[in-house]
Structure formats: C-alpha cells, structure tokens
Structure 1
Amino acid sequence: MARNMEKMASIDAQLRLLVPGKVSEDDKLIEYDALLLDRFLDILQDLHGEDIKETVQECYELSAEYEGKHDPPKLEELGSVLTSLDPGDSIVVAKSFSHMLNLANLAEEVQIAYRRRIKFKKGDFADENSATTESDIEETIKKLVVQMKKSPEEVFAALKNQTVDLVFTAHPTQSVRRSLLQKHGRIRNCLAQLYAKDITPDDKQELDEALQREVICHYRVIQRIGDNAYELDIPEARSKIQAAFRTDEIRRTPPTPQDEMRAGMSYFHETIWKGVPKFLRRVDTALKNNGINERLPYNAPLIQFSSWMGGDRDGNPRVTPEVTRDVCLLARMMAANLCYSQIEDLMFELSMWRCSDELRVRADVLHRSSKKDAKHYIEAGGVYFRSLYSVILFLAAEFWKQVPPNEPYRVILSDVRDKLYSTRERSRHLLANGISDIPEEATYTNLEQFLEPLELCYRSLCSCGDRPIADGSLLDFLRQVCTFGLSLVRLDIRQESDRHTDVIDAITKHLNIGSYREWSEERRQEWLLSELRGKRPLFGPDLPKTEEIADVLNTFHVISELPSDNFGAYIISMATAPSDVLAVELLQRECRVKNPLRVVPLFEKLADLEAAPAAVARLFSIDWYRDRINGKQEVMIGYSDSGKDAGRFSAAWQLYKAQEELIKVAKQYGVKLTMFHGRGGTVGRGGGPTHLAILSQPPDTIHGSLRVTVQGEVIEQSFGEEHLCFRTLQRFTAATLEHGMNPPVSPKPEWRALMDEMAVVATEKYRSIVFQEPRFVEYFRSATPELEYGRMNIGSRPSKRKPSGGIESLRAIPWIFAWTQTRFHLPVWLGFGGAFKHIIQKDIRNLHMLQEMYNVWPFFRVTIDLVEMVFAKGDPGIAALYDKLLVSEELWSFGERLRADHEETKSFILQIAGHRDLLEGDPYLRQRLRLRHSHITTLNVLQAYTLKRIRDPSYHVQLRPHLSKEITEDDLKESGKPALELVMLNPTSEYAPGLEDTLILTMKGIAAGMQNTG
C-alpha cells in the first residue's frame, strides 16, 4: 500500500507539471508539496533503506486516516508503530517528519510569492482573500488619493515624516538552527528557479556544472514552460534537501547572547542592507505613478531598525554589561564593514572629472595631505613603526595607490574609505583586546561626520547636471547610511523595575535616610526630583554593592562609555508608577551618561495596563520631566504577559482601551506619543498578519510613528529572503500610512459596553481555571511538554523570571509553547466562550450585535478571525491522547471539561463569524493547513509516547528489529552515519538512548508545522 501511494504521488506530481491547464494556480501548492516530498522520500530510501521509508509512509497513512475521521483508535495504532521503533529508527522518523514540514513551509513561501506575482501582473486583487495583508505601497497611495480624496501632497508629507522602527529581539522562539535556515534558503531558491519562466538551456548547464561537486545522485525534474515541456536538470534540489537532512537539527549547547546577536545581525548582511534602498526606490516609483514627481528625501526616517539582542537583561543573567559592550562594538564593526564595501563600489562608479568648486577645493586639500601622509609613512616604514596604526597606514598607502587629482569624487571617497577602515579596525581591536592603537580622531565618531562628504558629492553631481548619477548608487548609499548609521542598529536596554529599586534602596540606606523600597510613591517622587534638580553626586566608590546592584550600575557605565548612537531606548519592564521612570533618569545622571537614553515604561499585566494612563498623566504633570522629554514620549505595551495574566480576550480589549486613553493624556499635555508594541509571533502573544494588526489599532494611536518587536521565528519569516524583506517593509509602511490617513472606525458606545461586560466575564473564567483551580498546575505540567522545554536550547534566557514559582513566574513563551505543542492552544481561546455564552444567554439580540461588530469593526473582526485560525490549527483529539498517556486518571475529568469548553467556544466563534466550518472565508489557508496536518499528527503521537517513556521508565514497549539499513565502511565514506550512530550524538543524556533527541525533534517539527514556537 505504501509503495502504491508513493508511486501515485510521484505520477500525480509529474502529471500536474506536464499537462497544461490541468490544475488551477491555487493547486500549485500541492504540486510544490508533492515534488519536494517525492525528492525527500528518494533521499530517505538511499540513506536509510526501503524499510524505513515504508515506515514513514505507513505513519503518514495512519495519520491521514485519523485526520479524515478523527478516530482515536487510529492514534493508538499509530502509537504502536512508533513505539516499536528502536532508538536510531525513532530519531530518523522524527527527523523525517520534521524535515518534511520544513519543506512544506518552503513550498508554501514560494507559492505565496508566485501567487502574488501572478496577481500583480494581472492587476487582479478582487479574489485574493489575503489582499488586505498583501497590500503594497502603490496600491495604498492610490487608494488614499483616488478613494479617500487625499491630495498627493498630503500623502507625500505624511510619508516624509513617517517612522516605523522594527526592533529585533532575542526571544527564544526560533527553534531552527542557523545552519539549517541557510540550507532552507538555498532549497527555497532552487524551488523558485524550478518555476522560473525565463531559464535558458545555457543557464541550466552552467547551474549544473557549478553544483556538480555537491551532487551524489543526479535527478531529473520535469518542468513545463508555457505549452512546451522539456527536461530540466536540477541537481541542487536534491543536494540541498539532502544537506539539510544530514545536518543535526538539535542545538547541543544553549546560545550565548553574543551568538543570538550574530544570528540576528546576519539578516542585515544577507537581505536588509540591500533590501532597504530597493524598497525606498519602490516608494519613489509609487509616488511618481500617483502624481508626485519628487523622490523621498534620503534622510526621511521611513524605516529604522533597533535591537534587544545583548541589551535585554530582564530575567536573563547572561546579559551582562560586558555582553552589552561586545554587541555594540560588533554591530559597529559590521556597519563599518558594510559601508566599506559600498564605498569601494562607489569609487568605481563616480569616476567623472567635472565637479563643483566646493568639492574641487576639498579634493585638492585631501590629495595634497594624502600624498604627504603616504610619503611620511613610507619613509617611516624604512626605519621602524611606532604603532600598529602606523603599520595599517603604511600598508594602506602601499596597497591603495593614490587617486589622481582629476578624479575628485574618488579622492573624496578614498578618504571616506580610509576612515571607515580605521573605524572598523578600531572596533575590532576594542572588541578583541579592550584597547586600540588607532586614535579615535582617525575614525568616524558620529553620523554627521560620515554624511558630510557623501552629501558634498551628491550636491556637486546635482549642480553639474549629473542628477541621474547622483540618484543612482550614491542615493542608495545615503539612504543606507541614514537608516543604519554607524551602529547598524540602535540597542535598547531593558531591565525590570525592581532592579532599579534595589539600587536606589542601597543608595538611600548608604546615605542613612531610610529604605527607598519602603517609601510611598509620593515620597519616592519627591526625593528623586530633588536629586534630579540638584547637582550633588549621590554615591562614590564606597557604596556597598551586591552582585546584582553592581550589574545595574555597570550597565549604565557602559552606556556612558560608548558612542550615544549605539543606543535607543531604556525599557523598564513591570513599570507601574512615575518613580520607575524617574529612578532610571537619576541613575543615568549619576553614571554620567552624556546623552541620556529616552526612558520607556513597559506596561504588561492587566492591572498595569488599566493604571497606565493615570501613571503617565502623573509623569507628564511633573515640570522637570516635561522639560526633559521635549514634547516626545514613548510607551511600550506588552501583549505576552497581559495575555498570560488575563487571557487573550480581556488582554486584547484592555490593550485597545489603554492606547486610546494614553493618546488622550498625551494630547492633554501636548506630547507626541509613540506606542511601542511588544508583540510575539503567536496569536497568544499578540501575533497575526502585519497589515491587519496595524489597521485594527485604535484611531489616532499611530499617526506615522510606530515601534514593534520582531521576535524569534518571525525574523526569519520576515527577513529570511530578499523578497520576504521587501514584502515586510512594504506591509509595515503601507499599513502605517493608511492607518494615519484613513483611520479605522471607532467602536459604538453600545459595543464598548458589551466588550467591557464580556471582558469581566472572560477574565473571571480564565483566572478561575489558570490561577484558582487547584488541579491546573499539575494538569498543565503533566499534559504538556512544558517541563522539557529547556532541552531545546533555543535561547540564552531562562524560561522563568525566578527559579521558583508557578504559572505567575513562567515566561509567556514556554507557556504558549507548551499548549501549541499539544495543539490545544488554551491561552488563545480560554475565556472567549464564557464571555460569549454569558452575553448571548442574557439577551439573544447580543448575538446580532456581535455579528455586526464582526462585520464593521476591524479590531473585533481581526480578534475573532485569529482565534478561528487557531482553532483550525488545533485538535482536541490530540490533546486527549496526551491526557490518556501522561495525566493521572484523577485529572481526566478536568481535561474533558476543558475540551468541552474548547468545542463550545468554537461553536460561538463560528456563529459570530457566520461560518459553518472553520476558515470558510479563507479556503486557501484551509488547504495549506490540511496539507501539513497528517505530518504534525505523527509527530504529536510520537511526542506523547516519548514523553510517556521519559516520565515513566517502567512503561514497556515491544521493539521491532532495526529497520534502517546497515551501512558498510565504503558506504559510510560516501553517505555519512547510519541511524544507530544518530543516537551517539547525545551520549550524555540522562534518559534511555534516543529518547531525548526524539523528543526534541518532535518539538521542532511541531513548531515548524504550526509555524510558531511560543
């Protein structure tokens, strides 16, 4: 049967590719999926034998049968097959299904890009269900001008002053190793080439020759071009898939904060650096096509980038002051390196002799001084070198021959190049040794210094009639410099408010004026303001310091020592009162931070969000503080902890209301407020389609200024490839522009009243289960892999803020992760059903009001649609299997009660959306989920039984003989290690051989299938 299925899948895949018009464009996702699956199964058979391939096929068939009828005995039958595998075979099967899900994701990405290209070529968006999430900048501008009757000048003015700041964080939700991500990128490229319309036989031949050495076996793929079919050799498709499968998916050691930073910054080198000017040119084109014959100024802050990697120390003891210093220097070195390469390219391009008098004078001065310096250092080289820097300059003079004076632009740029070299090398020396022979005056220390010669070149070209040249690569580089500066990204510092309280408390005790921690809020503010208004130093070297207090103070010292353009905001997590902000202001002053960071309170829990407007109003009422902020303030709101605290429904509504109230407070005091959205990738942590998330925010809360976190796996999904980077920048820019110029509708008073009433019920329902039900913690830790989460080694941060404690101290990511793995998604939907049931039973007319809210109010519609999507990804039958295997019988009734709540909530969601079935309004997404469910189910069953064997060593299983083929010594040289040797990759595991790696592989595979970790 398995062989027949494989043969049919292979024939079907080839027929779909060969026969014109056999399938619609939408069905191409099945083609891509079948094609990659076909290739992978061939590789699996070659590497591990036919028996193991047939076992994978058997597991898939049993999963598919379960998915068709949701028949629980099929899961037990599948469990019997999986538990009979020996350790090596179990790892191979887990790895196979994980790999297939990653391949399915790649096929989906290519298909989405393909669909988008086709629809853009046709100019057809009417039948695109996801059109609102795919809206591009030109369509948005056209909509504003044509439909909303905005003038082109208004749109241009809005864009010039708009800023979207994307903040990369090291939240541990990226479960895929960087090595694999890179291989996945190459597979994605192969698949895209496979469906390219313009590949020639010569291209094919050259591609074959370049990759021939990587190929073990040569495969032929049938490709249709128009109505003609011919054989296209794609050896790299096989070699890249095999390379990915052969790579160890498991991180054997936790990453350091520096590792996380290097991984995050690699996206700038690979896609973002070149993607930004490409996108900004598209903005120029969109403006021109809509009647605006003016380019966006190169210093317009349309897109900015920040980072928390190496700066987020909230609950992460591994982020030390030394780490912060290292990541700042590393980012500075990377920025100088990228700019250095770009300058070299510009020197080849700007070879013209004609220039302005201003530039000519500068070039003559530089040429004379460079000639003199070169002579001096060449002569010095004959005697001795007084410093390493002298060596560098000597080598530079020898290697870089002088630019002739009749090429003035090159003279200017050669000086820029040399200073960039020194800037990069100084950062490298400081990073490696803490000192450098290169004097600071030989480097760029601020952005104005760097921009000045580039702007001079631009002005000169324009004045000499060479504006087309100026608006070429030079304009692109100016935009890159204005976007990334000398630091590549600005590093935010995040610390918990209690840590600052500890430091101030130590100071007041040292001054013998009492315990700051015990003071009232009013007394705290009074003392902090008196010190901020004064000039006396508060403490000296004799201040008694614990390790934690020294860490906080040393962080401020690092901020004071490094260039100010390295840093962005200072985020205070768990902020509740004005004193939290004033304490940081005082510590910055005491540690001699010359250019103090803007201080941003982060309100996270439900009560803190409710109190946030009043706290900010008290802050703005302080004269000293209003003078300090110069009319600008940033406030961060947290989606993760608010959801864990009160449930998704109540958190979403309170986040909405808090933004409205904060904007009112800011307007009252004449302050421009920027909202910083701390969103995760999952729905439970505020995730969702970018465009819809922005357009569903309250009116007047964005106004052209937006900060938002980009976390974990979302970084790869948004910036992993050039086209993804372009699409991400476009989505954020277009949605922010549209929200500001065409705000969404405000909710009616009766809708607000309904939401308020439902939120109270939803919070009570959620907390009655999560925090008040005495059986919940035991059930949660038994029914999910929460206790095993840390074994994935996907982040440097501990899973709890405090080593002890229950659900309250657990981080939001492992909280969401655990329920995502079992496909029960409790944090997303718990509370919704109770709220809807209460309000509909109270008055059936409320159901009609809810349906009206769904159809008219973007915020409510997005909220419901995202929950519906999560229900489509879930499966309570899988959760029931975890209960049966892992939960004590006394708790089975509790699990059944939760699953009944799940089904009731799903019924209400469908009623409100007017759907009979889940995702009725998005058949394309429904198809995408259907294609992966059978793979995920196999991993779920394998995970549940593996957890059973880990937690209960007495659990008996009957192993079948080893399936994976034994490989001879000659084979081993050719194709690597057999399945049994996979077990030896983890020789120190405390469990029976193979169990820990099997478990981790199932976690990674399910995360890939759900396209979310936590």
Structure 2
Amino acid sequence: MTDPTPLPDTDLASSDKDHLLREDIRLLGRLLGETLREQEGEEAFAVVERVRQHASRFNREQDPAAAAQMAAALDDLSLEATVPVVRAFTYFLQLANIAEDQHHVRRNRAHARAGSRPREGSLAHTLERLADAGVDAGALAECLAVARVSPVLTAHPTEVQRKSILALQRQIAARLASCDRTDLTPDEAAEIDAALKDAILTLWQTRMLRPVRLAVIDEVKNGISFYDDTFFAELPRLYCRLEDQLRAAFPGREWTLPPFFRVGAWIGGDRDGNPFVTAPVLTEAMRLQSAAAFDFYLAELHTLGAELPLSQRMVKVSPALAALVERSPDHSPHRADEPYRRALSGLYARVAATARCLDDHAALRPAVAAAEPYESGEALRADLAVLAASLAANGSERLAAGRLRRLIRAVEVFGFHLAPIDLRQNSDVHERTVAELLARAGRCADYLALSEDARIALLVEELATARPLQSRWIDYSEESAGELAIFFAAREIKQRYGDGALPNCIISKTDDASDLLEVALLLKEAGLMQPGDAPALAMNIIPLFETIDDLRAAPATMARILALPGYRALVASRGDEQEVMLGYSDSNKDGGFLTSGWELYKAEIELARVFARHGVRLRLFHGRGGSVGRGGGPSYQAILAQPAGAVSGQIRITEQGEVIASKYGNPEVGRRNLEILAAATLEAALLDNENRLENAEAFYPVMERLSELAFGAYRRLVYDTPGFTRYFRESTPVAEIAHLNIGSRPASRKPSERIEDLRAIPWVFSWAQCRLMLPGWYGFGSAVGEWLAENPDGLALLQRMYAAWPFFRTQLSNVDMILAKSDLAIAARYADLVTDAELRDSVFARIEAEWHATRNALRDISGGAEPLADNPLLARSIHHRFPYLDPLNHLQVDLLRRHRAGETDERVRRGIHLTINGVAAGLRNSG
C-alpha cells in the first residue's frame, strides 16, 4: 500500500457518481496501511505494497510480467512474514465491502433527495407498476389479506467472520455514514478520522479466526444480533411506509396491513445432520429470542415515556386510557398529571413481569413497582393501541404516528417469541423413530420392511385413534428418545409463547407420502395433533424435496397425500394452506445448476396445478443459498422469474451464511433488501409476468432438451469420471474448510469421502475458494453446443428466450456473474495440487474447455454483450477487489502444498484458514 493513498488504481474511466466510493476506499486503505506500518513495521508494509502494485498492474493490463513479479514477491515470503500479508489483504477486502455498502446507501439517498422516479425493487415502483397494469385497490387488498413474505435465517456455515469482527465493521460503516450526513467542522472531521483509525487498529489487533467451533447457542445469539442491528427498527418502518404509500396511491380507503412480513429462523430448530440441536437447545434458543424481544419493548416503552410528558391540564384523554392510568402502579407525585407517562410506566411494569415469568429475564431498568404479567403479545398490543387512540382522539395524532405506531407494529410482528423457529429433520430419522414406536408398542414388528401402500394404511389407522404409542416406562434408543423430546419440548414452547413460536415442521429428503404421515404421528404423540371427527394439527407439516428425482416426484407425492381424507382434514385445520419446500442446494449438487433450476421451475408449475385441483393454497418455501451454485443470486429477479401462479402473494426464502450479514448487517442496506422481497412478491403475485409472454410454453421443449444435455455433461464429470472425487479433494481446500470453526454442523452427512454424502455448502464453498465456481455454470456450454448441432438454425430461438423469458434470462445472468468471478489461471494453480498428473491434466482440460464453451454460448445468446453488461455494480466491485484477492489465492495454494507435504508448523494451518477467510470476504457470496 502506498503512502498516503495506497488503494486501487483509478485511471480506468469511471462515472462521477463513483467518485465518493473511490475516496472512501482510498481513505480506508490509507488508514489500514498506516496501521500495518505501525504494528508490523516498515518491511511488512513495503512487502504488501509491492505485491499490491504488481497485482493491480496485472489486473489492469493483463501483463504476464506483473503476475510473475507478484508471484516472486509472494514466493519469497517467510512463514512469519506471510501472516501479516494475508491479514492485510483480507482486511482490505472487508473494508472495501463496507465502502461499497455505504456507497449503495449514499446513492439511494441521493436518488431520494433528487426526487428520482422510484427505483426497481422499491415498493413505490411496485405500486406504480400495479397501477399501470390496472390492478385496483380491491385486488391489492385481497392479495395483502393472504400475503406471507418471510426471509428465514439459517445457521448454514458460510459466514467465516467472527461476531467481534462484524461489530467493528459496523462501527466503521457508521463513521463513514456520519461523514456523508453532516457538514463537519475541522474538529469534527478530525474526530471521525481518529475514530476510524481506532476502529481499524482494533480490527488489526482482533483475532480473525475462531479457536473453537461455534455451538448452536452461539449461532442463535449471532442470529439475534441482526434484530438489534436491523429488524427491530426496519420491519415496523416497512409496514408504516407501505401503509402510507397505499393511502397516497389509493386514497379513500383505510389501509391497515395484516402482519404479512415476518422474519423466520432455523437456528436452534434445524436438526438435519446436526446432533447438537437437542430439546434443551431448542428451549434455550426460544428463551434467548424472547428475552431479546422484551429488551427491545422495554427500551422503547422507556423512551416513549420520555417523549410523551403530556399534561392532563393541556390535553384530554380517552376513558380507556384513564382506565390504564388507574391500573398503573406509578403513583409518583411528579407524574400525577401526566397520564401517558403513568400508563407507560404501568405497561413497562407488566412487560418486565412477563419477561421474568416467561424467561427468568430481568429488565435492565427496574419497574416502578410489581405488576401482573401479560398473558399474550396481543394484550400488550391492545394496551398500546389504547394510547394511540387516545392521542388521535385528542389532537395529538401526529405523536401517535412515530415511535408508538412502530412499537405497536413490532409487538404484532415479533410477539413474545421474536421469530418463529422451524423444526427440521431428515425423513430417515422420523422413519426410524416411528418404526421403533410401533415395534415397542407391539403394533408392527418391522415397519421399515413395509411397502409404501402398507405404511400409509397403517399410519392412517394410527392417526385416527387417540391411543398413544409412546410410554414413559419404555427405554427407547438415543435417537428416538431425542426426537420425541424435541416434539414434547415443542408443545411446551407453544403453550408458553403462543402458537406462532413454533409453527412449522420441515421434513428433509421427502420422497413419499408416508414421510408426512410419520411426522403427523410424532406430533400426535406429543399432543400436537388431535385425532377425532375433526382432526386438527398444531403445526404445519412441510415436505422438503431436494434431489432431482425428488423434485420430479414432488407433484405426484403431494397429489397422493392430499387425496387421503384424513390428511386433507388436517390441512383444512390449518386454513386449507399447505407449504412445500424446494431445495436448491442439493438438487444443484445432484444434477447441476441448469437442470436444478429447470426441475424446480417445472415442479412449481405442477404443484400449483395439483393444489388447485384439491382446493388448497400452495405456499412455496425456497431453500436458496447465497451463491449461485446453491441456488442464490439476486432475490428480486429470482422471484419475478417464478412461473405464473407459483407465488400467489406467499413466499418464504432461506437466508444463509455470509449473505445474512451482507444483506442485514447494515440497517439501511437491510431496509432495501426487506423492501425488495415485499415488492417482488407483490409484483409476482399480481402481474403474472409469465402469463403475459406469448407462446411461452414453446420455450419449454427447448429448455427440457438443454437441461437433459447439461445434466448429462455434469453427471459425466462429477459422478462418472473415475478419480473425480480425488481431484476435487486435492484441488480445493475442502478438507481444510471442514476444520475451520464456522458452524456447529458437520461438513458431511456421513463419515465418507463420497460427494453424495458431502453437504452442498462445503461443496460450493470449496469451488469458490479455488476460483472455479464450477457448480454455478458447468454443463451449460456443452448443452448449448449439442443443442445447436441438433438445431443448426436454433440460435435465434435461444436469443428470443433470453430476451422474453425471465426464467431463462435470470439463469444466464447468474452464469454471467459466476464466470466474472472465476479465474482459470488461478484455478490451474489449484489443479497443480493434484498429485496424479494424468488425472489432473485430464479433468482440468475438460473443465477449461467447458468454461470457454459456456462463456462463448453466453456471449452468443446475449447478442455479444460484454460480461456483466447488465450488472455494472458487480463489474465495479470486481475492479476494486480482484487485485487484493489474487495474492490471497496464490498464498493459499502455497500453504496448502506445504501443509499436505507434512509441514506441521501451526502457522501453515493458520495461514490457510486466514486465506479462506480473505477469499470468502472478497467473493462475498462464496457458499
């Protein structure tokens, strides 16, 4: 890094709107360079700067000499000197991420100040589109009445950064933001500069890696932190803003939105492959969530008390508010004439008592006196509504429209449980547990040997009787006892915190109708399903279809289960709604990205038809990852590219790994991402983009054939090539990733080397580290080439599909993004780690040929567009960060080679893990 302005070269043409971004990057880079010099010495600073200059020149000019000079500078490093270099480049990439996020916020604010037309993805833009399409207020109100939008936070381990590091990054972001929004005096500017220096120094002196693996409760606490950062403030604001926009767009109608947008959670309830999620862990996860909600409510009530010192000598109050005041334990003479403060003191005391009762959690500020706890969140909301109504009725409506309005909405959305936790387990575990229950009760000696028809018949009989199978006097296997304990804990949690606390039970690897009936039976054993003439479920049973075969079978499976009168009655008890989860990650690993995307699309179409025949509302839950290789990519385009009828105003989407911090770590970025989900869902539900295509179904046979060809190419490489597993494990850091303490869940489902048993996360994460991103593009080039050989005049049709069909265009846009992040030259260095030269040369040659074929096919179909032509933000980001990413990859390869050769120095292993952290930061959506 140069002194004083070390960071990226900016002589390439850039628009003026990015000037402040470049300034921020220069500032943060200068401060990081100063910190490096102070803490590690002039020699370390000089090495980093020399490497940076060579890497920047290579990325700018593609000069091989610059690449060779960069490599020589890195190869000469001692182990002792390597770690500071890795840390310097890693921290720069993290700081560049902060600057980019802050620039997004800055540009959004600039558009707002300038009165620009609403931008795509905003609710204002959506309302304009709906009005232009002739959607009236009645249709919109009907949609919102049944709408459900829910991003669901999971603990899938691709977030390599510690919570302490993320907290420091938020401090730096806040300091940058304050520079934008204040006309600073010289002293104030100096103070911010000093604060930035201090934060970067603290960052440098903070351990980057976790010494031990995260526990599940650590993951729960990390998830809760995003409520403090973003969700508590921004979700209520989203509701209020949309209500105000609806009143402006459709005057004459009173808009009060139902709580259609909620954030969900898997953390603490997802047991699939994670033996550390137990009944006590689930209970503690809910307690921690609840305590966080109470802390927020108590702080807001305290602040409201300071904001509403209204005197009864100046204002009137409603009889209902007078009754609240009468019941308040606040009898201070200093507040005798301040009814709102006294009422709020009473509410505070009751909320504090509720926190003690439910969670054994003490309020930070003690209440004025003891009070009765609330029986439900709705009771608290009703009391808050009394304050709002009294203010509105007595000339103070504006005072009710701010913090009080948002708090009422928060209580409605978060309740006393904060976020609904989903339970998830593999169908094989449910199956074994049911088999043991049936055998130990003398009902069926060998359930596992039964045919599917026989299983269904037996389960239907058992679900119709109130007689339990489980007995407290029988000792069950550890697995079955653990599963039963989870369901009994779920019943206690629902009784304690309300039905909304644990609404869903998800079945991984669903492949038969009996999988759903087995869960219904386990729910019945725990008192969460009531048999009888009007059977009732207390939880939603949600099948998760993950593999290509399971996706293809999903419509038939759901048709069969919905045709069973007993199960159909259970669905009726849940409001005639049935959720189905579709797995993107495992289907991608199973069949490649193109086939996964197409099979998901077809499954949604057929499921919508099945559900329509049975009179059941379908809600789809999309198990998307962060990277394209796990079904990720921009959410707005992905939702709009869903087939017609697949959204219907209801959608749930997983938010995983590093994507959670990227989307929701910054409140303003989080606000934009929440708004995008709501806007896209309303557009997809009400505009039916796919139905407006002429002859859309004419594209389907082409897509079917492309998928078939891509599937063949992918399977031939990954599953049919002898030695490919060895190639993968030696050419990527998958083994080293497994020992990086980034999550509580093991990397593989079973103790084996097979790719089939490896989880999708380390599979994709590993390919990202070596800069191939193979799961996000492989097979497309071969598929297009073979299809064009069969259809010599077919390019024009593919180009029409790209121009007219949102699904196809989104698929190709994601490929474009992935190819831009990949680098064959760097990948070739990782391939050199494969010890079998013949295997290495053979496999890498195939990968290289497919990469070029895919890039050429993408160029031809898009009409020769430049890479990332429709994604200038990513193009800019790549320009800023790749000079800092390439040295990390170079060092990672060298350290992997030394580690695998038997070098036992702890600094080698630590260096590998630091480079993994740095590359992940540079790519952002890495796993």
Would you say the 8 A contact 1:403–1:411 is kept in 2? no
Distance, in Å, in 2 between the alignment partners of 1:137 and 1:758 is: 36
Structure 1 position 819, deviation (Å): 0.4
Would you say the 8 A contact 1:75–1:941 is kept in 2? no
Deviating more after overlay: 58-67 vs 44-53: 58-67
How large is the RMSD of aligned CA atoms in angstroms?
Answer: 2.6
Distance, in Å, in 2 between the alignment partners of 1:414 and 1:993 is: 57
Amino acid at match of 1:944: V
Specify which structure has the bigger relative contact order, considering alpha-carbon pairs within 8 angstroms and separated by 6 or more residues: 1
Say if 2:108 is the partner of 1:112: no
Match of 2:552 in 1: 610
Match of 1:422 in 2: 353
**SS at the partner of 2:757?**
coil
Say if 2:910 is the partner of 1:997: yes
Structure 1 position 470, deviation (Å): 3.3
Structure 1 position 10, deviation (Å): 8.0
Match of 1:143 among 125, 129, 152: 129
Say if 2:611 is the partner of 1:666: yes
Distance, in Å, in 1 between the alignment partners of 2:348 and 2:825 is: 63
Would you say the 8 A contact 2:8–2:880 is kept in 1? no
Structure 1 position 889, deviation (Å): 1.2
Match of 2:159 among 174, 178, 181: 174
Distance, in Å, in 1 between the alignment partners of 2:371 and 2:434 is: 37
Once the two structures are superposed, residues 719-763 of structure 1 have per-residue CA deviations (whole angstroms, 9 ceiling, x without a partner) of: 112211211121111111111111212462321001111111111
Residues 544-943 of structure 1 mapped to structure 2, 5 A cutoff? 544-562=475-493, 563=496, 564-593=499-528, 596-630=538-572, 631-746=576-691, 748-893=696-841, 894-943=843-892
Say if 2:187 is the partner of 1:274: no
Amino acid at match of 2:51: C
Say if 2:926 is the partner of 1:1013: yes
Say if 2:899 is the partner of 1:950: yes
Amino acid at match of 1:173: T
Distance, in Å, in 2 between the alignment partners of 1:403 and 1:536 is: 62
The unaligned stretches of length 5 or more in structure 2 are 364-369, 530-536
Structure 1 position 205, deviation (Å): 3.3
Residues 126-205 of structure 1 mapped to structure 2, 5 A cutoff? 132=120, 135-145=121-131, 147-196=132-181, 198-201=182-185, 205=187
Would you say the 8 A contact 2:772–2:822 is kept in 1? yes
Distance, in Å, in 1 between the alignment partners of 2:127 and 2:485 is: 48
Once the two structures are superposed, residues 400-458 of structure 1 have per-residue CA deviations (whole angstroms, 9 ceiling, x without a partner) of: 848967544444433322221122123443899xxxxxxx9943342333223223333
Match of 1:496 among 426, 432, 439: 426
Match of 1:98 among 86, 90, 93: 90
Distance, in Å, in 2 between the alignment partners of 1:720 and 1:827 is: 27
Distance, in Å, in 1 between the alignment partners of 2:388 and 2:860 is: 61
Distance, in Å, in 1 between the alignment partners of 2:720 and 2:708 is: 16
Residues 73-472 of structure 1 mapped to structure 2, 5 A cutoff? 75=67, 77-124=69-116, 132=120, 135-145=121-131, 147-196=132-181, 198-201=182-185, 205=187, 234-292=193-251, 296-297=255-256, 300-350=258-308, 351=310, 353=312, 354-361=316-323, 363-364=325-326, 366=327, 370=329, 401=332, 407-429=338-360, 442-472=372-402
Once the two structures are superposed, residues 806-832 of structure 1 have per-residue CA deviations (whole angstroms, 9 ceiling, x without a partner) of: 100100000001000011111111111
**SS at the partner of 1:881?**
helix
Structure 1 position 523, deviation (Å): 1.1
- TM-score norm. by structure 1 comes to 0.85
**SS at the partner of 1:26?**
helix
Amino acid at match of 1:704: G
Amino acid at match of 1:180: I
Would you say the 8 A contact 1:578–1:618 is kept in 2? yes
Would you say the 8 A contact 1:510–1:544 is kept in 2? no
User: Cα 1:460–1:923, aligned 2, differ >3 Å: closer, same or farther?
Assistant: closer
The unaligned stretches of length 5 or more in structure 1 are 212-232, 371-396, 433-439, 955-990
User: Cα 1:675–1:23, aligned 2, differ >3 Å: closer, same or farther?
Assistant: closer
User: Cα 1:627–1:735, aligned 2, differ >3 Å: closer, same or farther?
Assistant: same
Amino acid at match of 1:994: R
**SS at the partner of 1:67?**
helix
Structure 1 position 34, deviation (Å): 2.4
Amino acid at match of 1:163: R
Would you say the 8 A contact 1:454–1:478 is kept in 2? yes
Distance, in Å, in 1 between the alignment partners of 2:276 and 2:133 is: 51
Distance, in Å, in 2 between the alignment partners of 1:357 and 1:556 is: 45
- TM-score norm. by structure 2 comes to 0.92
Distance, in Å, in 1 between the alignment partners of 2:455 and 2:815 is: 43
Match of 1:225 in 2: none
Structure 1 position 584, deviation (Å): 1.0
Query: Radius of gyration: which is bigger?
Result: 1
Would you say the 8 A contact 1:160–1:301 is kept in 2? no
User: Cα 1:884–1:70, aligned 2, differ >3 Å: closer, same or farther?
Assistant: farther
Amino acid at match of 1:580: D
Structure 1 position 161, deviation (Å): 4.1
**SS at the partner of 2:418?**
coil
**SS at the partner of 2:238?**
helix
User: Cα 1:71–1:206, aligned 2, differ >3 Å: closer, same or farther?
Assistant: closer
Would you say the 8 A contact 2:152–2:265 is kept in 1? yes
Distance, in Å, in 1 between the alignment partners of 2:8 and 2:710 is: 52
Deviating more after overlay: 463-472 vs 637-646: 463-472
**SS at the partner of 1:824?**
coil
User: Cα 1:32–1:524, aligned 2, differ >3 Å: closer, same or farther?
Assistant: same
Once the two structures are superposed, residues 764-798 of structure 1 have per-residue CA deviations (whole angstroms, 9 ceiling, x without a partner) of: 11111111111200100010001111222110100
Structure 1 position 119, deviation (Å): 3.1
Amino acid at match of 1:42: E
Structure 1 position 195, deviation (Å): 3.5
Distance, in Å, in 2 between the alignment partners of 1:71 and 1:11 is: 17
User: Cα 1:125–1:873, aligned 2, differ >3 Å: closer, same or farther?
Assistant: farther
Distance, in Å, in 1 between the alignment partners of 2:117 and 2:400 is: 36
Amino acid at match of 1:726: R
Would you say the 8 A contact 1:610–1:654 is kept in 2? yes
Size of the aligned set, in residue pairs, is 898
Once the two structures are superposed, residues 135-156 of structure 1 have per-residue CA deviations (whole angstroms, 9 ceiling, x without a partner) of: 31112112221x2122244434
Match of 1:222 in 2: none
Would you say the 8 A contact 2:730–2:833 is kept in 1? no
**SS at the partner of 1:454?**
helix
